[in-house]
Structures are given as C-alpha cells and as structure tokens.
Structure 1
Amino acid sequence: MVLNSPGIRRVARGVRRRLRRLAEPPVPATAYRLVPEPVFILSSVRSGSTLLRVLLNSHPQIRAPHEMHLRTLAVDLTKPYSKKAMSELGLDQRELEYLLWDRILHRELVRSGKQIIVDKTPGNAGIWERLHEGWPGARYIFLLRHPASMVNSLIDNRPDRELEATVREVRGYVEAVEAARTALPGLTVRYEELTARPEEVTQEICAFLGVPWTRRMLEYRKGDHGPFVPYIGDWSDNIKSGKIQRARPLPDAADVPAALRDTARAWGYPC
C-alpha cells in the first residue's frame, strides 16, 4: 500500500479541514443574517394583504414595502470552481440565496430608517419551510379571509377568469397558509375583522410585534406606500381610496365551492 499516494493525501486534507471546522467555535444563527427577525405575512392572493401592509407601513417603526417576490430571485453557480469555492466557505446555493434575500431586506430596512421589516408577498406561503429554515427568528402573521370571498374577488377583478381554475389557485394558497399556521408560531389576523375593527386588530398586531400602537396606522392615505400597480400588490380603487373599506358579506354556505369547504371550516367560517 502506497501511503503517500495522491488519493491518500486528498483524504488527509479533507480530514484536516473537517477537524479545523469542528474546532472552531459555533457561530450564532443571528450572525448569518443582517435582518435576523423579519416579519412575513403568509396569506393568499386577494386576502387583504395590501391593506394590511399599508396599515403597518404607516407605523413609524415598521417598513412594509410592496411585494418583493424574494422566492423568484435565485443564485446561479455557473462554473464548477464557483461551487467548489463557495463550498470551502460553507456556502451552498440555498444559503447563497438566503444571503441575497437577506441583503435586500436589510437594504430596504436601512433606506427606510425603521426597525422592523415586513414582507407580504402571497407567494411566500408556498415557501414557508424555506423562510423558517433561512430565518429561525422570523415572526409570522397569518392573514385569513373566507376562501370563497377570495375566489369572488379574483373573478370580480378579472371577469375572464374560469371559476374552476380560480378555485384551484386559491386552494393552493389557503392549504399552504394552513400548513404554515399549523407548524409555526405566529399571530392570526382575519381580513373581515381587520376591516370591521381596525383599531382593535392593529393594536393586537402592534402588541405581537412589540411596538406601541399609533392612530397613524388607520390614516394610511397620509403616507407614501409606493405605487398601487399589478404584480406587486393590490391596485383596486378600494386600496387607492386611502380608506379602510368594509369586507364584503360572507358568502352563503351553499355557495362555498366543495374544494374550499375543509379549509373554510378549519378557519371557522360557516359552510
């Protein structure tokens, strides 16, 4: 047996590297993130998330920008040696993407001069496990609305939508939200209650986030919340009015699509 062969030397180098890493003191999880405790609103489309974000963004300590779609931003290691170089730093593609997302959150937080950042992108519901993995200290607000009301709102917004496909779309969102709500700690907020009792509900949210409540949150028309345009949030006349509009009446139980009844019951809505 040749003890000085290239293969033996490579194995020895690998063992020495692992031993050095084991000898290093553990790095606190917060050291990996510039924003260790972001707030994620997990919701479906047409659930009132844009209203909730502008109410939060009206708070002097909370920055809630438009939908950022972080999950669609990916890192591409284009060469084998790129992967090798990052591996030596303890970074794989997944962690590199977390660093990118974290940097964007941090940049927006610093620009705002505030202390808490909130991301309300509905697509985040589908990647809640990644969010929890990337930010163990993240906080979650689960925004619920009657599932059939969300279907009706989508169709009202685009009458050319096909009902069955719209129900499937909403079902995907609400099932993801419910899975996250079952697995993660957080605060549950109902859109219907937010619009009926905005002062009380926003006070509950502020208590959850550890900030004092301010009436400025209910006067969102006075703040700069960016443009209300498609693909990054609601752009309806209701949200542009600057006033909190009451939610539409709950649909009749008989009108709830069968595919949404289980979730509607789990969320406490009659069906």
Structure 2
Amino acid sequence: MSQLKTQPDNAALASPVFIVGSLRSGSTLLRLLLDHHSQINMFGEFEGAVSQAQGENWPDIKDYWRFVKTDRQTSALKLDIDQSLDYEQLVRDFLTQLHRRNSGKIIGASIHSRVDLLPKLWPSARYIQLMRDPRDVARSCIGMGWAGNVYEGAKVWISLEARRTKLRQRTDPANNLNVYYEQLVSDPIGELKKICAFLNVDFEENMLEIESDTSYGFPSAGYAYQWKTKLTGKEIRWVELRTGEAMVTQGYKPTSTKHKPLSRLERTHILFQNRYYRAMFHIRKWGLSLWAQNIISRKFGSKKWTDHVRLRIGEKNKLYLR
C-alpha cells in the first residue's frame, strides 16, 4: 500500500463518526443520507462493537467470537475473526476491514446501546448526537415489538440518554454535534450542511437522493411530533412521567409538570400488557415453536442449541427488514 493511501486510511480509522441516538430516533434515515455522500461510508449499524459489554468490562473473547457469528446484524457484515487479537484490537480490526471495502475520507455507523464505551475503542471518534421526542420514540417502539405500551417504550429512550450523558462526560465537546430529528425532517438541507461542516466535507445534493436506491423516502416534516395526534392523554402522561427531567434536558417540553403518579393498578396493567403484547408479537413473527425454543434455550440450553435458535430467529427477522 502506498504512503498516499495509508495516511487517509489511518486518519479515517482514528476518528470514525458515530450517529448516537435511541432506537427509533431516525438514525437509519440520517445514516442513509450521509452514506450518499461521495466521501462518507456509513456502512450500517455497528452495535456489536459494544453491545456485549458487561458493565465497564468487555466480554470474554470466545463468547464474543460466538456472538459475531450468530448475531444477525454483526454476522451480516461478513467479518473475518483474527483470533490472535484481544477484544479491542479485534473490534478496531473489524472497522479496518469495513474501511478497506469502501475507503474514503470518513467511515462511520450508527450505535444505540453502550455508546458510553466508544471512547475506550476510539479516543478521537466524532459523534452526531441525534435526539428525538421521547413520546414519538416510545410510540414507535410498540410497532417494532420492543414494548407493549408507551410506558415501557419510553425505557428505550431513557436507557440511551443515560449512556449519552456518560459519553459526553468522556469526550471533547468539540467532537460532538447535536442534531434534532424534528429539524432534520423539516429542513434536511440545512441540517445536512451543518453536519457536513462538522465533518469537514462539502455538502452534496445527491445526499438527498435516498429514494433511488433505498426503501426510505425523502425526509418529511410530517414525521415530526406525531405523538400530538397519535397518543391519548393517558399515554402522553405515561411517557412524561417516565422520562421526567431527562426530556426537559434534551429540549422537549412536557404537556404538564403536575401529572398524577401511576397507581398500583396502572403499574400492574402496564406490566402485564407489555409482557402479553411482546409475547404475541414474537409468536406471530417467529411462530410458537421458535418463540418457546428461544426462551427455553436461553435459560437451560446448550451453547450449540442457543446459537442454532439465534440463527433461525435472525433469518426470520430478515423478512421484516425495511
């Protein structure tokens, strides 16, 4: 490899760009818009880089090898596992492999889980901090089968915000850019120009042409603040009670600061509604037998059986990808 090519590769790999936001925050839309830039390779979701951590500790390396082979998102990247490397070296090597396939000035991905651990892997990484109204995130989680009601759906938003706070504490503010989903869909050109300036690249018109080769449409302001017409007063109260000050910190105004606390009956209803809905959702999606095997294998099964079930579920889930 020539010196001219080595230098850009090293620069890109030393400071990758990560879109950080909760699930259902619009990260896929933003990633696709950025990936249509000629100098940016936003290759997808890189959740597997950090999702298996236990607290502040990385997973056992052999367990991680199994995960890479059986996790739907990670295995789809078709990465080579160099078993001579430790965990951090291996994950950085994964990024190197992905960069070699499509080298450019910038490489990055979206991550929704243990974002607070990313500085341990890439101290000079840059972050596009994507925010979305928790009331819309909570509602959207129901349709994905991750929650049976908005109270449980709000947990997805809260979890990421706690991790985001730690990430900000561990990184240089200059390496973080705040982007709001509501502004992105209302003024995509303006927001993309802001992001391009942050990444030190010029804005390109073809960034907006995602309809030509993806299943996503052009950003529309109609996707912002859907909770105002699609959530009931009770559901709005549930989300606002659960998110509390966190939503205010992120710039979202609650409808009331004096909501009545949840009653014991409401808490019981929320708990059982969530469990029942999620079970029914996955039974419809995977079938009763595979759903039952997933529960039993994770609690009592061998590693071989658990991996087999995981792979089958991954194949089922592919059928529902957008």
Within the candidate set 109, 117, 124, 1:119 is matched to: 109
Aligned to 2:219: 244
The answer to whether the 8 A contact 1:146-1:250 is kept is no
Distance 1:160 1:216, change over 3 A: same
Whole-Å separation in 1 of the counterparts to 2:62 and 2:139: 43
Within the candidate set 44, 47, 50, 2:22 is matched to: 44
The answer to whether the 8 A contact 1:147-1:174 is kept is no
Distance 1:161 1:38, change over 3 A: same
Aligned to 2:39: 61
Whole-Å separation in 2 of the counterparts to 1:107 and 1:266: 38
Aligned to 1:76: 61
The equivalences for 1:78-227 within 5 A come to: 96-123=86-113, 126-128=114-116, 130-158=117-145, 161-184=148-171, 185=173, 186-223=176-213
Distance 1:72 1:177, change over 3 A: closer
Measured against aligned partners, the alpha-carbon deviations of 1:108-130 in whole angstroms (never above 9, x if no partner) come to: 1121132211120212xx242x2
Whole-Å separation in 2 of the counterparts to 1:77 and 1:145: 37
**2:245 equivalent to 1:262:** yes
The structure whose residues are more often helix, as a share, is 2
Counterpart residue type for residue 71 of structure 1: V
| Alpha-carbon offset, residue 132 of structure 1 | 0.8
Structure 2 unaligned blocks of 5 or more: 1-9, 53-58, 64-82, 255-322
Measured against aligned partners, the alpha-carbon deviations of 1:27-51 in whole angstroms (never above 9, x if no partner) come to: xxxxx99811111111100000000
Whole-Å separation in 2 of the counterparts to 1:51 and 1:144: 13
Whole-Å separation in 2 of the counterparts to 1:248 and 1:167: 17
TM (norm. structure 2) is 0.58
| Alpha-carbon offset, residue 263 of structure 1 | 1.4
Q: Say how many residue pairs are matched.
A: 207
| Alpha-carbon offset, residue 215 of structure 1 | 0.7
| Alpha-carbon offset, residue 165 of structure 1 | 2.5
Which is worse superposed, 55-64 or 174-183?
174-183
Whole-Å separation in 1 of the counterparts to 2:87 and 2:42: 21
Percentage of identical aligned residues: 28
Counterpart residue type for residue 244 of structure 1: P
| Alpha-carbon offset, residue 153 of structure 1 | 1.1
The answer to whether the 8 A contact 2:115-2:167 is kept is no
The answer to whether the 8 A contact 1:33-1:102 is kept is no
Q: Which has the higher contact order (CA 8 A, sep 6+)?
A: 1
TM (norm. structure 1) is 0.68
Structure number with larger C-alpha Rg: 1
Structure 1 unaligned blocks of 5 or more: 1-31, 79-92, 226-239
| Alpha-carbon offset, residue 168 of structure 1 | 2.2
